[in-house]
């Protein structure tokens, strides 16, 4: 892979204020893409933009809540208006809800998790696809999860939301495979990012325990997931459509 | 490009098709390549292609169904180049195109020996060599037929499902010992082997193409690029995975 | 199949299709069946069909997308019958026949609210009652489209994938407490949901046939038999499973 693999391309990353989103924004920028960072966290978003700039890249921040249709429509509009094209989209914004048994999950919690993780991905696809068709094609990667492929205790609604992402990924892939848009998703395992912080705080000892669970004996880093996302967006992956790519050190193999 | 300079890669079935394309892709990243194939001429051909571009390669006549051959091909890598970093266990044969009850035991045994036992025997000798130098990466060729099936390909499908299962088990055993093991699950890629299979199954090619969401078959280079990426440090957290490169076939 | 004598079964979406068929099978096997639907007329018709065959049933109206409706529905069942042994969370709406960017937000949300949140609500209120009794069995209706995709039905596929996620996770949470939770993944079944789609898109009725290796569409009764079996004691070690009843569609 060269430094110019994404030169001339415009990449939109949701949830870019931290974690996997930030790592992906930096990774795409290193490859020469111009980045549109989207998030609800303004401070984190500005920091990502600065980090991209410090590395010699170009990025801008658009505050957007992916569960809001008007926010997502504006986000894509602004991108097309500013840069005239959209080549890559990493629909990554997501929230967690870990460690609560199903019967204790409230309506509000259900609505929030599904709203960001599933409806958010739907809205992003809905507005990104026409923009990409206008741009002559493109590549979309959605953040699903290992929990989008199997279940886990304490993860029922999160797992449902991520399974939905897998379903949308496959269907959108089938709909646009011959129209120049490739759609795939990544299924990260246990990755050391802030989405897990509430769970670590509520469960002392869990961090160490979960660090040992993956067959590799450690959690993954945001950068490792970002590498997989970036690869999926290169021409080397031109025959990869509708795939849920596991980045989980073998957790799913167990 | 020299992402893999100082690294040594071994490819079985490297004399043609996906294997050859992957040998060339490893060499393009400056890895030294051991080309193993039952077809000595094919393997030598791959070596020439690599050397013509300034790369480093050696061929080893190898029948992956023979333990001693697998042992020898790995020994060739370590004696010639001092180490083994990557292995792509790709040697395989195609299906007969007959329904299950008409499949001969001869075909079944021959296919299992190459497609499944061959992968097992290859890993059996590759793994110790990699452990010796602190780690490595292995990619086994499974197939979309390792996830779903198609009529008249029962032996082939069984062997490719088995390769995926074997991959996952081995992955769990060595993930924390520095060896990442994954499978690539190619869709239909037009190689000589596939063309031979199709010749035995009239109408299959047209039907297959129509069922590909992307509207075309894959290119060997696309599989090769996937294998090389899986072996690279960029895939450092990918283990036990079946990376599907199929133009959307299994998504439907 | 084991006797469902003295058992109380609850079926949502019991007014037609798979739900009606399942209600009839439960009744045939001796259960008293609480038939729930958003449509009173069809729900009560199912009750009459059961009574005409000598069974016991009653109707309880509920919109599964409304949490308080589902809470009241479960309460009503317990008040009427004293217990709840088996629940089939089946109420659902079908696909829309347009690409993902052709779906409106309200169409997407409506599909998710009924198909996914409806199952969430169902389990949220059924599980505590079953825990009180020391156990029970739940079968959720997912779909073949909960495992793979199909052009034109993205909201439906997303919602049915999500049902699989809910099912597997809930199974892991409550299995050791006596509540067995599974889901069924029907292929293309002759139900009013699909008939409605075929009325709007007549080519689909012919096209989709090629998806079914068995060469025909399924009947609601064929799914109902499997649901009832999964809910019975004969399936006592089946847990967290997504059982395909799809004429071979997902094998390919």
pLDDT reported for residue B193: 82
pLDDT reported for residue A3: 65
Query: Which of B28, B166, B18, A115 shows the shortest CA–CA distance to C109?
Result: A115
Tell me: the pLDDT tens digits for A208-231?
Answer: 999 999 999 999 999 999 999 999
| Structural domain boundaries, residue B139 | 8-243
Cα–Cα distance between A222 and A25 in angstroms, integer? Answer: 11
Half-sphere exposure of B116 (CA within 13 A, CB side): 19
Domains and CATH numbers, chain C: 8-233 (3.40.50.720)
Residues of B in contact with A224 (CB under 8 A): 236-237
**Is residue B192 a part of any domain in this protein?**
yes
Cβ distance A239 to B237 less than 8 Å, yes or no, reads no
**Is residue A91 a part of any domain in this protein?**
yes
- The C-alpha angle with vertex B90 and arms to B69 and B79, in degrees rounded to 5, equals 40
**Is residue A85 a part of any domain in this protein?**
yes
Phi, psi of A16 (to 5 degrees): -85, 0
Secondary structure of residue A187 in the 3-state scheme: strand
B237, B41 Cβ separation under 8 angstroms? no
Q: How many domains does chain B have?
A: 1
Query: Looking at residue A220, what DSSP letter applies?
Result: B
**Is residue B92 a part of any domain in this protein?**
yes
The residue from C81, C125, C156, C217 that is catalytic is: C156
Cα–Cα distance between B164 and C135 in angstroms, integer? Answer: 37
B201, B180 Cβ separation under 8 angstroms? no
**Is residue A190 a part of any domain in this protein?**
yes
% pLDDT > 70, chain C: 99
Query: Looking at residue C126, what DSSP letter applies?
Result: H
**Is residue B161 a part of any domain in this protein?**
yes
Write out the catalytic residue numbers of B.
156
C80, C73 Cβ separation under 8 angstroms? no
**Is residue A247 a part of any domain in this protein?**
no
Cα–Cα distance between B35 and B173 in angstroms, integer? Answer: 27
**Is residue B105 a part of any domain in this protein?**
yes
- From C145's Cα to the closest Cα of chain B, the distance in A is 9
Cβ distance C252 to B148 less than 8 Å, yes or no, reads yes
pLDDT reported for residue A1: 45
Cβ distance C151 to A155 less than 8 Å, yes or no, reads no
**Is residue B250 a part of any domain in this protein?**
no
**Is residue B1 a part of any domain in this protein?**
no
Query: Mean pLDDT over all residues of chain A?
Result: 96
Q: Which residues of chain A have pLDDT under 50?
A: 1
A122, A169 Cβ separation under 8 angstroms? no
Half-sphere exposure of B189 (CA within 13 A, CB side): 29
Cβ distance A239 to B222 less than 8 Å, yes or no, reads yes
Which among B213, B250, B252 is the top mutation candidate for probing chain C, defined by the most C β-carbons within 10 Å of its own β-carbon?
Answer: B252
Q: What is the DSSP string of B102-147?
A: G--HHHHHHHHIIIIIHHHHHHHHHHHHHHHTT-EEEEEE--GGGT
Over residues C115-125, the mean pLDDT reads 97
Burial (0-12, 13-18, 19+ Cβ within 10 Å), C30: middle
Phi, psi of A106 (to 5 degrees): -85, 165
Half-sphere exposure of C73 (CA within 13 A, CB side): 33
Q: Shortest CB distance from A159 goes to which of C146, C148, C168?
A: C168
Taking the Cβ of residue A192 and every Cβ of chain B, the question of whether any pair is shorter than 8 Å is answered with no
Run of H or E including B154: helix B154-174
Say which CATH number the domain at B141 has. 3.40.50.720
Q: CA distances (Å), B236 to each of A79, A100, A216, B89, in order? A: 32, 31, 10, 19
Q: Shortest CB distance from A242 goes to which of C67, C149, C162?
A: C149
Cα–Cα distance between B37 and B77 in angstroms, integer? Answer: 14
Q: CA distances (Å), A1 to each of A5, B200, C160, in order? A: 7, 39, 38
Run of H or E including A57: none
Write out the catalytic residue numbers of A.
158
Neighbouring CB atoms inside 10 A of B71's CB total 13
Residues with Cβ within 8 Å of residue C195, at least 6 apart in sequence: none
Secondary structure of residue B249 in the 3-state scheme: helix
Taking the Cβ of residue A148 and every Cβ of chain B, the question of whether any pair is shorter than 8 Å is answered with no
Over residues C77-99, the mean pLDDT reads 96
Specify the long-range contacts of residues C194-200, CB closer than 8 Å, at least 24 apart.
C194/C94, C196/C94, C197/C94, C197/C95, C197/C97, C200/C97
Say which CATH number the domain at A113 has. 3.40.50.720
Residues of A in contact with C101 (CB under 8 A): 125-127, 129-130
pLDDT reported for residue A33: 98
Cβ distance C165 to A123 less than 8 Å, yes or no, reads no
**Is residue B252 a part of any domain in this protein?**
no
Q: CA distances (Å), B24 to each of B51, B210, B243, in order? A: 10, 30, 20
- From C15's Cα to the closest Cα of chain B, the distance in A is 30
| Structural domain boundaries, residue A180 | 10-241
- Look up the pTM and report it: 0.91
**Is residue A249 a part of any domain in this protein?**
no
**Is residue B160 a part of any domain in this protein?**
yes
Rg (CA), chain B: 17
Tell me: the pLDDT tens digits for C137-186?
Answer: 999 999 999 999 999 999 999 999 999 999 999 999 998 899 999 999 99
Cα–Cα distance between A159 and A153 in angstroms, integer? Answer: 10
Query: Which of C124, C166, C139, C163 shows the shortest CA–CA distance to C223?
Result: C139
pLDDT reported for residue C1: 53
**H and E: helices and strands count for chain A:** 9, 7
Residues of B in contact with C150 (CB under 8 A): 252
Taking the Cβ of residue B222 and every Cβ of chain A, the question of whether any pair is shorter than 8 Å is answered with yes
User: Number of Cβ pairs closer than 8 Å across A and B?
Assistant: 128
* Beta-bridge partner residues of A186: A143, A245
**Is residue A128 a part of any domain in this protein?**
yes
**Is residue A251 a part of any domain in this protein?**
no
Q: How many domains does chain A have?
A: 1
**Is residue A4 a part of any domain in this protein?**
no
pLDDT reported for residue C4: 95
Which among A115, A140, A163 is the top mutation candidate for probing chain C, defined by the most C β-carbons within 10 Å of its own β-carbon?
Answer: A163
Q: Which residues of chain B have pLDDT under 50?
A: none
Q: Which residue of B has its CA nearest to A218?
A: B176
Taking the Cβ of residue A247 and every Cβ of chain B, the question of whether any pair is shorter than 8 Å is answered with yes
Query: Which of A211, A212, A199, A204 shows the shortest CA–CA distance to A100?
Result: A199
Q: CA distances (Å), C217 to each of B99, C9, C141, C151, in order? A: 24, 27, 17, 19
Asked if pLDDT for residue C2 goes beyond 50, the answer is: yes
Cβ distance A114 to C148 less than 8 Å, yes or no, reads no
- From A182's Cα to the closest Cα of chain B, the distance in A is 9
Q: Which residues of B156-192 are buried (b: 16+ CB within 10 A; e: fewer)?
A: bbbbbbbbbebbbebbbebbbeebbbbbbbbbbbebe
A248, A146 Cβ separation under 8 angstroms? yes
């Amino acid at each position: 892979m060269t430094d110019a693999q994404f030169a001339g391309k415009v990449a939109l990353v949701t949830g870019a204020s931290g974690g996997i989103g930030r790592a992906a924004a930096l990774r795409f920028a290193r490859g020469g893409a111009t980045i549109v960072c989207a998030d609800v966290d303004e401070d984190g978003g500005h920091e990502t933009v600065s980090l991209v700039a410090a590395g010699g890249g170009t990025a801008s921040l658009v505050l957007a809540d992916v569960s809001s249709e008007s926010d997502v429509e504006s986000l894509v509009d602004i991108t097309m208006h500013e840069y005239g094209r959209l080549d890559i989209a990493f629909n990554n914004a997501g929230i967690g809800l870990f460690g609560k048994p199903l019967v204790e999950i409230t309506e509000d919690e259900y609505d929030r998790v599904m709203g960001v993780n599933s409806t958010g991905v739907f809205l992003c696809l809905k507005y990104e696809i026409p923009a990409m068709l206008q741009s002559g094609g493109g590549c979309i990667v959605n953040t699903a999860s290992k929990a989008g492929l199997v279940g886990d205790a304490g993860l029922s609604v999160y797992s449902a939301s991520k399974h939905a992402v897998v379903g949308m990924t496959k269907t959108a892939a089938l709909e646009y495979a011959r129209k120049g848009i490739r759609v795939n998703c990544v299924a990260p395992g246990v990755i050391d990012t802030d989405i897990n912080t509430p769970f670590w705080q509520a469960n002392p000892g869990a961090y160490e325990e979960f660090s040992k669970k993956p067959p590799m004996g450690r959690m993954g880093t945001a950068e490792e997931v970002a590498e997989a996302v970036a690869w999926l967006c290169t021409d080397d992956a031109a025959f990869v459509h509708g795939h849920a790519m596991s980045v989980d050190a073998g957790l799913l193999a167990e | 490009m020299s992402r893999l300079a100082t690294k040594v890669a071994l490819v079985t079935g490297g004399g043609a098709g996906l294997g050859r394309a992957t040998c060339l892709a490893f060499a393009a990243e400056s890895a030294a390549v051991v080309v193993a194939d039952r077809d000595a001429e094919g393997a030598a051909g791959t070596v020439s292609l690599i050397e013509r571009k300034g790369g480093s390669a050696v061929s080893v006549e190898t029948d992956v169904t023979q333990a001693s051959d697998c042992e020898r091909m790995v020994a060739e890598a370590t004696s010639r180049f001092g180490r083994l970093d990557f292995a792509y266990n790709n040697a395989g044969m195609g299906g007969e195109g007959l329904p299950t009850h008409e499949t001969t035991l001869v075909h079944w045994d021959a296919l299992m020996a190459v497609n499944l036992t061959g992968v097992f025997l290859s890993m059996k000798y590759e793994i110790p060599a990699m452990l010796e130098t602190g780690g490595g990466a292995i990619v086994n060729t499974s197939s979309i037929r390792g996830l779903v099936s198609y009529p008249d390909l029962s032996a082939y499908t069984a062997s490719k499902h088995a390769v995926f299962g074997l991959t996952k088990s081995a992955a769990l055993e060595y993930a924390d010992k520095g060896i990442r093991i994954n499978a690539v699950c190619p869709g239909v890629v037009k190689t000589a082997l596939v063309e031979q299979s199709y010749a035995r199954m009239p109408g299959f090619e047209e039907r297959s193409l129509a069922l590909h969401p992307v509207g075309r078959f894959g290119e060997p280079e696309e599989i090769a690029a996937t294998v090389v990426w899986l072996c690279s440090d960029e895939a450092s957290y990918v283990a036990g995975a079946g990376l599907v490169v199929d133009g959307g076939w299994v998504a439907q | 199949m084991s006797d469902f004598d003295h058992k109380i079964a609850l079926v949502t979406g019991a007014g037609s299709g798979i739900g009606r068929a399942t209600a009839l099978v439960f009744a045939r096997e001796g259960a008293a069946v609480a038939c729930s639907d958003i449509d009173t007329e069809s729900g009560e018709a199912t009750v009459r069909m059961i009574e005409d065959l000598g069974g016991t049933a009653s109707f309880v109206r509920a919109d599964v997308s409304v949490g308080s409706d589902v809470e009241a529905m479960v309460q009503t069942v317990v008040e009427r019958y004293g217990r709840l042994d088996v629940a089939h969370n089946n109420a659902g709406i079908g696909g829309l026949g347009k690409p993902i960017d052709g779906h409106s937000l309200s169409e997407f949300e409506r599909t998710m609210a009924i198909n996914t949140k409806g199952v969430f609500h169902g389990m949220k209120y059924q599980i505590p009652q079953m825990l009180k009794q020391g156990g029970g069995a739940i079968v959720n209706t997912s779909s073949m489209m909960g495992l793979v995709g199909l052009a034109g039905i993205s909201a439906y596929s997303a919602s049915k994938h999500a049902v699989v996620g809910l099912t597997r996770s809930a199974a892991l949470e409550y299995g050791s407490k006596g509540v067995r939770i599974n889901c069924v993944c029907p292929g293309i079944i002759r139900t009013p949901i699909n008939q409605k789609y075929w009325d709007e898109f007549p080519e689909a009725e012919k096209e989709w046939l090629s998806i079914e290796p068995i060469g025909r569409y399924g009947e609601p009764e064929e799914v109902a038999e499997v649901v009832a079996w999964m809910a019975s004691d004969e399936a006592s070690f089946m847990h967290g499973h997504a059982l395909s009843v799809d004429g071979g569609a997902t094998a390919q």
